[in-house]
Copies of this chain bind each other. A is one copy, B any other.
Amino acid sequence: MAAALSADVEWTDPTCPVARAVDLVGDRWILLIIRDAMDGASTFTDFHQRLGVARNILSDRLRRLVEHGILSKEAQAVGKRHVYALTEAGEDLFIAIVAMRQWGERHAFSPEESHSSLVDRAGEPVPELQLPATDGNPLTAATTHVRKVS
């Protein structure tokens, strides 16, 4: 498990993994870039067309993601020049994106609105994430706490 970061980052809160994650990927466009990368987008134009983000901003975000080891950028010999691909660290954001998606499905749509959904290869809906304790009941914010570093 290599570190995702080669460039130096000014951490908001150096001992908190949530804060470090937010420093790296807690940006509106970055999260949507990763969503689209997981859905098959791979070139600058892919991302630009899907997101409708300004080109300079897209350029900046792609560069930062490559610097931080979340995307890789490879030159292709023929045809399309550059291909962005998720690194292992980028692929590993899958659970986080799914968590966002499932929260959005539950809380950002009214009952009569329809939305896209995530399905497996058989076309079956992906199940809901949960965090079972050893006793089987789901853990929540109320049943857990942060143990600060010593």
Contact = CB atoms under 8 A, between A and B. Distances in A.
**Chain multiplicity (copies):** 2
A30 B67 CA distance: 25
Interface in A124-145: 124, 126-127, 129-134, 139-145
A15 B115 CA distance: 5
A131 B129 contact: yes
Contact of A20 (B3, B108, B149): B108
Interface of A: 1, 3-5, 12-13, 15-28, 31-32, 35, 38-39, 69, 86, 89, 91-110, 114-124, 126-127, 129-134, 139-150
Given A17-B115, A19-B32, A126-B139, 20 more contacts: A4-B107, A16-B116, A19-B104, A21-B100, A22-B32, A23-B108, A25-B100, A26-B100, A27-B28, A93-B103, A96-B99, A96-B100, A99-B99, A99-B129, A118-B146, A119-B145, A119-B146, A121-B144, A126-B131, A129-B129
